[in-house]
Amino acid sequence: MRAGMLQRSISGPCRRRPALGRRASALRGTLSKTWQGLRDGVRAARTYQRLNAMSDAELARRGISREEILRVAMFGEPGRDR
């Protein structure tokens, strides 16, 4: 009986871990997305600080109100590429 149990466990489905190459590739992708997110966050923070330091007149010349600073910092000015 014991030999039969051993035989069934050997012939059962094999659950293998993903290959090292696939795991490394997934890690690189995750790190790349994380790095891009950090860069985007720093860019938005710098834009916010620059716009927030402007006077209302300077903002108005750019077509931005003070209430729109956060939106512009996060998503860019309408009609302009960041």
Each residue's pLDDT tens digit, 10-64: 555 556 666 888 888 999 999 999 999 999 999 999 999 999 999 999 999 999 9
9 within some domain: no
Answer for the pair 73, 48: CB distance below 8 angstroms, yes or no: yes
72 within some domain: yes
3 within some domain: no
Instruction: Grade residue 3 by pLDDT with cuts at 50, 70 and 90.
Output: low
Pair of tokens at residue 34: 């994380």
Domain that holds residue 57: 23-77
| CB-side neighbour CA atoms (13 Å) of 14 | 5
- CA-CA distances (angstroms) from residue 10 to 2, 5, 14, 32? 13, 9, 8, 40
56 within some domain: yes
Q: Using the predicted structure, report yes or no on whether residue 76 has a pLDDT greater than 80.
A: yes
Answer for the pair 64, 51: CB distance below 8 angstroms, yes or no: yes
2 within some domain: no
Q: Using the predicted structure, report yes or no on whether residue 66 has a pLDDT greater than 80.
A: yes
Q: Is residue 73 packed enough to be buried (19+ CB in 10 Å), middle (13-18) or exposed (0-12)?
A: buried
15 within some domain: no
Pair of tokens at residue 57: 């007149």
